[in-house]
């Protein structure tokens, strides 16, 4: 630098030689503790890059002499958690469902685990709150197509409904009455079904439908429309309708019934998880 | 010859008899140390006097509180710990004698911090940096460490000599003993801290038998290190360089705040040779320049430079100077607690309104003694608008907290309404809503809490897992000092849907203590049910 050293008059300290509008910067040394701390961080960083993964290479990075990796840490943590829960999982795997329900700790664990499994595997159709939607049953209510006690729920989840790949699957299919009954008869029987719980559009029509119902429907749905869980025949005398409750919707279902399909989960998820799902669904409020 | 100089001359014999201590203030105004220069050691001399006695008392009390509090017992029955002061992090409870605080009541601690803040304003505006000088842990522990240092290495001169002496077996022995005792004190300090967080007697046994949790040893190690480094090695540097308090507290002082003041209006011109001065017709002040005030200063400053950031107002220089004034037969208070307004008034008196240099004759009366015109601190000066405002705000926060504490309920309910699904239509046409209800039994005794519905005519509720029939209320047993979470299903019959007012209340009551709490809830029904 061409300028020679400049000493500040007031403090007697040399300046950096830079000047801004007559203001000069003092060239005080850094405080010693600061400088030593800085050197210490440099030493530390060398040690750190040797001990831990640090330097990027072409396809990898240095591994560090301690062999640390965050993936490994995650695995270790997950294994530790699994080990902590091993007793509970084992108990759920070997105990029957009613014993799991009777044990407060097991029930809690199964409900929480079932909740997680439900969110991953079931919520796509039944909704994240198990509230269902048109065609997909609400699992919170007390209306069960295939039975609402814990064993029935377990059976349904394990083997599915109308699922081709499982010999034990729940099966029941309503014939398409559009080929069997006349249009008028279908209108009559729809009016009759509405009359179980509400007021049909035409009482005479409902009256006429009684005979049609007795001849064609009562064998599965029951004389008073109470349904039958053996065939998955829905209860027609309650407030809950999977495909709608209006006469037109009922008539459409009589003419050309729609049938939901649920996969069997036993093989995919294993029995312990299916048990947990059963306990969770059972605990939603409608379990019998 | 003026009266004052005559008066001064009469005590000249003793003035030169006062030993002049060869002390130089390390942090004196004229030679301020640059930040990057190595620290110059300070060897404070032992002081004695009323402030030193007061400081011994405060050290005794504060250290006693700190070390002994965890060992106090307080019977709370079989369901709660019997330690009087306990921060139970594992169970998230704080116990303070008869008070038990749950995490959601942490605002009491916040309130205490607000009170501490305002209290600091109040104390500082009246008696200056009393916190720094007497009760700050840094001051107390440095004082304690200095006691050890003096006991082993001797007082100021002996310590300076030892420090300058070449390395020898004797020096090594003394130094090792000193540092060993310091470390022991530091361990005890860190050790006492962890006892606030667990049952002290059992933790003590665990620590001694190496069975305590690693975090206990870590905490002790960290606090041992900080105590030893701050109290033994860094000392005044903590106050001068690290602590924000000196900067903040200075902003709270005003002209009526008491600060440790060198009264140069009666001390100057300082002289050791009054007789010679008298012979030359010069008047001299009361200061004999004996450096007693500098020698005792733990901060290494010269109070005669005036108020300065480093001064923690420990008042040891007052004790030192008063001792000298007593020997000389002069009034105490050449260095004293004084307010800036009094000081300015006296300074104006001594300098004839600032027109001349200090002439102590102007503040003395005939026959000796200070003139009646000299201003002294009067206790009424404590009561000024500023201190009233501080005290008012401080009391207000305190009273509000006290009221909240005395009237608080030890029974609470929190409710979470199911959002997904918002409601469930049941097969008989009735509608069900689910609620997660948290019952907080905040006393260390088991209770049966009655949960009931208020409003929502016709609705019934069922507590899941309690095996009670649907009803308008249910009795839920809750463990002592615990929260119990229950699922409650509330069902409204179909015929009530059209007329229902969907807001209702969960009422929880303890029939034995008459405590109760209410949660205003709402009930969701399908659109179009009305």
Average pLDDT (B299-326) is: 91
What CATH number does residue A246 fall under?
1.10.760.10
Confidence class for position B5, pLDDT limits 50, 70, 90: very low
Same domain for A150 and A269?
yes
Does A199 fall in a domain? Answer: yes
The reported pLDDT for the residue numbered B4 is 44
The reported pLDDT for the residue numbered B13 is 47
Lowest mean pLDDT among A261-275, B29-43, B207-221, B396-410: B29-43
Same domain for A157 and A100?
yes
Lowest mean pLDDT among A41-50, A60-69, B18-27, B124-133: B18-27
- Evaluate whether B317 touches B260 at the Cβ level (below 8 Å): yes
The reported pLDDT for the residue numbered B36 is 65
Same domain for A214 and A110?
no
Instruction: List chain A pLDDT tens, one digit each, 288 residues.
Output: 445 678 887 777 888 888 889 888 888 888 888 899 999 999 999 999 999 999 999 998 898 999 899 999 999 999 999 999 999 999 999 999 999 999 989 999 999 999 999 999 999 999 999 999 889 999 999 999 999 999 999 999 999 999 998 999 999 999 999 999 999 999 999 999 999 988 888 889 999 999 999 999 999 999 999 999 998 999 999 999 999 989 999 999 999 999 999 999 999 999 999 999 999 999 998 877
Count Cβ atoms below 10 Å from residue B173 Cβ, excluding itself: 11
Chain B CB contacts of A141 below 8 Å: 424-427, 432
Q: What is the rounded (10 degree) CA torsion for B12, B18, B21, B26?
A: -60
Q: Is the peptide bond before B421 cis (omega within 30 degrees of 0)?
A: yes
Average pLDDT (B25-38) is: 69
Give the distance from residue A277's alpha carbon to the nearest chain B alpha carbon, in angstroms.
18
Q: Which DSSP helix (H) or strand (E) runs through B518?
A: strand B515-522
Selected residue of A245, A285, A286, A287 to mutate for chain B interface (largest B Cβ count, 10 A): A285
> Can you give the residue range of the structural domain that contains A197?
177-255
Query: Residues 6 or more apart from B430 whose CB is under 8 A from it?
Result: B491, B492, B493, B494
Selected residue of A130, A132, A142, A281 to mutate for chain B interface (largest B Cβ count, 10 A): A142
Does A269 fall in a domain? Answer: yes
| pLDDT above 90 for B413 | yes
**Closest by Cβ to A29, choosing from B36, B418, B464:** B36
- Evaluate whether B148 touches B185 at the Cβ level (below 8 Å): yes
CB contact under 8 Å between B434 and A30, yes or no, is: no
CB contact under 8 Å between B427 and A141, yes or no, is: yes
Dump pLDDT digits (tens) for B207-229.
Answer: 999 999 999 999 999 999 999 99
| pLDDT above 80 for B169 | yes
Q: Does B494 touch chain A (CB under 8 A)?
A: yes
Q: What 3-state DSSP class applies to A132?
A: coil
Does A107 fall in a domain? Answer: yes
Give the distance from residue A67's alpha carbon to the nearest chain B alpha carbon, in angstroms.
24
| pLDDT above 70 for B490 | yes
Q: Which DSSP helix (H) or strand (E) runs through A51?
A: helix A32-51
DSSP codes joined into one string, B448-508: EEEEEEESSTT-EEEETTS---SBSEEEEEE-TTEEEEEEEEEEE-GGGTTT---EEEEEE
Average pLDDT (B85-96) is: 92
Does A81 fall in a domain? Answer: yes
Average pLDDT (B138-162) is: 94
Does A235 fall in a domain? Answer: yes
Confidence class for position B9, pLDDT limits 50, 70, 90: very low
Does A14 fall in a domain? Answer: no
CA-based end-to-end distance of chain B: 110
Give the distance from residue A235's alpha carbon to the nearest chain B alpha carbon, in angstroms.
9
Same domain for A162 and A267?
yes
Q: Does B242 touch chain A (CB under 8 A)?
A: no
Q: Encoding tokens for residue B475?
A: 């009795």
List, as own/partner pairs, every contact residues A124-130 make where C-beta atoms lie below 8 angstroms and the sequence separation is at least 24, other chains included.
Answer: A125/A262, A127/B420, A127/B421, A128/B420, A129/B418, A129/B419, A129/B420, A129/B421, A130/A281, A130/A284, A130/B421
The reported pLDDT for the residue numbered B352 is 84
Q: Give the E-state strand segments of chain A in sequence order.
A: 15-20, 23-26
Same domain for A144 and A199?
no
Query: Residues 6 or more apart from B112 whose CB is under 8 A from it?
Result: B401
The reported pLDDT for the residue numbered B12 is 45
Structural domain count of chain A: 2
CB contact under 8 Å between A128 and B34, yes or no, is: no
Dump pLDDT digits (tens) for A124-178.
Answer: 999 999 999 889 999 999 999 999 999 999 999 999 999 998 999 999 999 999 9
Kindly calculate the radius of gyration of chain B based on its CA atoms and give it in whole angstroms. 34
Q: How far is CA A29 from CA A8, A33, A34, B37, in A?
A: 14, 11, 10, 10
Q: Does B378 touch chain A (CB under 8 A)?
A: no
Q: Encoding tokens for residue B323?
A: 């001792």
Selected residue of B31, B36, B489 to mutate for chain A interface (largest A Cβ count, 10 A): B36
The reported pLDDT for the residue numbered B334 is 93
The reported pLDDT for the residue numbered A4 is 67
A-proximal residues of B, 379-438, CB under 8 Å: 418-421, 424-429, 432, 434
- Evaluate whether A230 touches A236 at the Cβ level (below 8 Å): no
Name the residue among A171, A181, A163, A143 with its Cα closest to residue A266: A163
Q: Encoding tokens for residue B129?
A: 């940096």
Chain B CB contacts of A286 below 8 Å: 424
Does A132 fall in a domain? Answer: yes
Does A129 fall in a domain? Answer: yes
Where does B329-369 have alpha helices with state H? Answer: 340-350
Closest Cα in chain A to B426: A141
Residue B322, strand partner residues: none
Q: How far is CA A48 from CA A43, A57, A71, in A?
A: 9, 17, 19
Domains in chain B and their CATH numbers? 3-24+252-377 (no CATH), 43-246 (no CATH), 411-522 (2.60.40.10)
- Evaluate whether A189 touches A212 at the Cβ level (below 8 Å): yes
Average pLDDT (B265-288) is: 83
Q: Does A271 touch chain B (CB under 8 A)?
A: no
Q: What 3-state DSSP class applies to B18?
A: coil
Give the distance from residue A204's alpha carbon to the nearest chain B alpha carbon, in angstroms.
26
CB contact under 8 Å between B420 and A283, yes or no, is: no
Confidence class for position B468, pLDDT limits 50, 70, 90: confident
Give the distance from residue B344's alpha carbon to the nearest chain A alpha carbon, in angstroms.
30
| Nearest-angstrom CA–CA distance, B425 and B492 | 10
Same domain for A87 and A139?
yes
| Nearest-angstrom CA–CA distance, B93 and B107 | 14
The reported pLDDT for the residue numbered A200 is 84
Q: Is the peptide bond before B269 cis (omega within 30 degrees of 0)?
A: yes
Same domain for A225 and A269?
no
Same domain for A250 and A266?
no
The reported pLDDT for the residue numbered B418 is 92
Q: Does B204 touch chain A (CB under 8 A)?
A: no
Q: Pairing state of beta strands B447-454 and B411-417?
A: unpaired
Query: Residues 6 or more apart from B395 whose CB is under 8 A from it?
Result: none
The reported pLDDT for the residue numbered A108 is 92
Same domain for A134 and A248?
no
Q: How far is CA B501 from CA B122, B416, B453, B504, in A?
A: 54, 19, 13, 8
- Evaluate whether A131 touches A138 at the Cβ level (below 8 Å): yes
| Nearest-angstrom CA–CA distance, A277 and A130 | 12
Q: Compute the half-sphere exposure of residue B466: CA atoms within 13 Å on the CB side of its CA.
A: 24
Selected residue of A128, A130, A140 to mutate for chain B interface (largest B Cβ count, 10 A): A140
Cα–chain center distance at B259: 20
Confidence class for position B270, pLDDT limits 50, 70, 90: confident
Same domain for A204 and A272?
no
- Evaluate whether B490 touches B472 at the Cβ level (below 8 Å): no
- Evaluate whether B49 touches B323 at the Cβ level (below 8 Å): yes
Same domain for A268 and A141?
yes
| pLDDT above 80 for B105 | yes
Name the residue among B301, B491, B236, B425 with its Cα closest to residue A240: B425
Same domain for A187 and A137?
no
Q: Does B34 touch chain A (CB under 8 A)?
A: yes
Q: Compute the half-sphere exposure of residue A55: CA atoms within 13 Å on the CB side of its CA.
A: 11
Give the distance from residue A33's alpha carbon to the nearest chain B alpha carbon, in angstroms.
8
């Amino acid at each position: 630098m061409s300028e020679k050293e400049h000493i500040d008059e007031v403090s007697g300290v040399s300046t950096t030689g830079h000047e801004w509008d007559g203001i000069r910067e003092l060239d005080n040394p850094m405080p010693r503790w600061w400088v030593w701390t800085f050197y210490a961080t440099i030493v530390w960083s060398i040690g750190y890059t040797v001990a831990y993964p640090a330097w990027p290479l072409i396809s990898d990075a240095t591994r560090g002499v301690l062999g640390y990796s965050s993936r490994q840490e995650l695995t270790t943590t997950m294994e530790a958690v699994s080990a902590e829960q091993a007793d509970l999982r084992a108990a759920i795997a070997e105990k029957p469902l009613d014993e799991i329900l009777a044990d407060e700790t097991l029930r809690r664990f199964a409900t929480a685990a079932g909740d997680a499994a439900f969110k991953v595997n079931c919520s796509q159709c039944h909704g994240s709150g198990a509230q269902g939607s048109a065609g997909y049953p609400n699992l919170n209510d007390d209306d069960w197509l295939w039975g609402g006690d814990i064993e029935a729920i377990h059976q349904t989840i394990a083997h599915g409904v109308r699922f081709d790949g499982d010999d034990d699957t729940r099966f029941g299919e309503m014939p398409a009455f559009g080929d069997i009954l006349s249009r008028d008869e279908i209108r009559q029987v729809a009016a009759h079904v509405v009359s179980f719980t509400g007021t049909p559009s035409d009482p005479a029509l409902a009256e006429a439908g009684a005979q049609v119902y007795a001849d064609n429907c009562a064998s599965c749905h029951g004389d008073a429309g109470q349904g039958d869980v053996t065939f998955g025949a829905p209860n027609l005398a309650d407030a809950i309708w999977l495909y709608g409750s209006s006469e037109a919707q009922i008539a459409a279902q009589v003419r050309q019934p729609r049938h939901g399909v649920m996969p069997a989960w036993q093989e995919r998820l294993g029995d312990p998880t299916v048990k947990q799902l059963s306990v969770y669904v059972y605990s939603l409020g409608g379990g019998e | 010859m003026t009266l004052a100089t005559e008066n001064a001359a009469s005590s000249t014999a003793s003035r030169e008899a006062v030993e002049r201590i060869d002390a130089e203030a390390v942090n004196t105004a004229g030679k301020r140390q640059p930040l990057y220069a190595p620290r110059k050691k300070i060897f404070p001399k032992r002081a004695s006097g009323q402030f030193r006695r007061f400081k011994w008392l405060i050290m005794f009390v504060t250290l006693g509180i700190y070390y002994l509090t965890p060992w106090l017992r307080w019977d709370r029955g079989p369901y709660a710990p019997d330690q009087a002061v306990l921060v139970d992090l594992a169970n998230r409870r704080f116990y303070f004698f008869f008070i038990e605080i749950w995490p959601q009541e942490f605002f009491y601690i916040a309130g205490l911090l607000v009170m501490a803040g305002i209290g600091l304003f109040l104390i500082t505006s009246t008696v200056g940096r009393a916190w720094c000088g007497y009760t700050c842990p840094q001051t107390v522990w440095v004082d304690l460490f200095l006691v050890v240092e003096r006991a082993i290495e001797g007082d100021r001169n002996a310590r300076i000599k030892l420090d300058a002496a070449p390395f020898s077996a004797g020096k090594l022995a003394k130094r090792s003993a000193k540092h060993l005792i310091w470390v022991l004190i530091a361990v005890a300090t860190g050790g006492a801290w962890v006892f606030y967080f667990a049952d002290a007697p059992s933790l003590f046994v665990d620590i001694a038998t190496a069975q305590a949790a690693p975090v206990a040893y870590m905490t002790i190690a960290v606090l041992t290190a900080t105590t030893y480094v701050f109290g033994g090695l860094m000392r005044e540097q903590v106050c001068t360089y690290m602590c924000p308090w000196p900067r903040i507290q200075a902003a709270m002082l005003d002209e009526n705040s008491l600060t440790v003041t060198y009264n140069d209006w009666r001390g100057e011109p300082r002289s050791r040779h009054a007789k010679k001065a008298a012979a030359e017709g010069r008047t001299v002040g009361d200061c004999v320049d004996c450096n007693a005030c500098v020698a005792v200063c733990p901060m290494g400053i010269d109070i005669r430079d005036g108020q300065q950031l480093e001064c923690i107002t420990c008042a040891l220089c007052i004790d030192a100077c008063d001792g000298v004034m007593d020997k000389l037969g002069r009034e105490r208070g050449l260095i004293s607690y004084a307010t800036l307004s009094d000081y300015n008034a006296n300074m104006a008196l001594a300098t004839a309104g600032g027109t001349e240099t200090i002439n102590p004759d102007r503040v003395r009366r005939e026959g000796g003694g200070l003139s009646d015109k000299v201003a002294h601190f009067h206790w009424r000066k404590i009561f000024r608008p500023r201190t009233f405002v501080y005290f008012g705000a401080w009391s207000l926060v305190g009273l509000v907290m006290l009221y909240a504490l005395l009237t608080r309920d030890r029974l609470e309910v929190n409710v979470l309404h199911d959002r997904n699904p918002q409601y469930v239509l049941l097969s008989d046409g009735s509608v069900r809503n689910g609620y997660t209800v948290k019952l907080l039994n905040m006393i260390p005794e088991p209770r049966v809490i009655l949960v009931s519905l208020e409003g929502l005519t016709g609705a019934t509720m069922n507590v899941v897992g309690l095996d009670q029939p649907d009803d308008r209320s249910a009795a839920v047993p809750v463990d002592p000092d615990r929260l119990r979470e229950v699922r409650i299903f509330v069902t409204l019959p179909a015929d009530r849907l059209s007329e229902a007012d969907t807001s209702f209340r969960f009422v929880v009551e303890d029939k034995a203590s008459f405590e109760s709490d209410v949660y205003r809830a709402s009930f969701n029904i399908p659109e179009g049910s009305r």
